[in-house]
Amino acid sequence: MWYKERTKLWHDRNLRAKNLQVGQRVLLFQSRLKLMPGKLKSRWTGPYVITSIRSNGALEIQGRPHNSQPFIVNGHRVKIYRDSSELSVVEEILLRMPALSFV
């Protein structure tokens, strides 16, 4: 019993909450995609746009062309899509001072 309780506490502590909003772009996990099995084939498809969020955690998402039909998926099957426009400039800080040469 101790092992089970401690394992559950560890897993609960390491859960990450997804803050999803309407209009946000997400990737969808395709768990049933078995046509071309392989290590290099990605199971994440998308990006899709969230059109509505249901109270039970389900999401209504729509494909790239905005005239496509929206469909409902489980909120656990999506992750936030991060494209290169969201990358920011990182400042470099030297940890070691360059050696000074005395002549």
Q: Evaluate whether residue 50 is within a structural domain.
A: yes
Tell me, yes or no, whether 73 lies in a domain: yes
Residue 57, pLDDT > 70, answer yes
Tokens of 38: 């392989």
How confident is residue 16, by pLDDT bands cut at 50, 70 and 90?
confident
Residue 58: which residues within 8 A CB-CB, separation 6 or more?
Answer: 72, 73, 74, 75
Domains in the chain, number: 1
Chain segment 67-89, per-residue pLDDT in tens: 789 999 999 899 999 887 666 67
Instruction: Report yes or no on 2 lying in a domain.
Output: no
Give this prediction's pTM.
0.64
On whether residue 75 sits in a domain, the answer given is yes
**CA distances to 9, 55, 70, 93 from 64, in Å:** 39, 24, 10, 40
Residue 65 domain-assigned?
Answer: yes
Report if residue 44 sits inside a domain: yes
Residue 58 domain flag? yes
Please report the pLDDT score of residue 50 as a whole number: 94
Range of the domain at 41: 29-83
> Residue 8: which pLDDT band, with cuts at 50, 70 and 90?
very high
User: Per the domain annotation, does 3 fall within a domain?
Assistant: no
Residues linked to residue 44 through DSSP beta bridges, in sequence order: 29
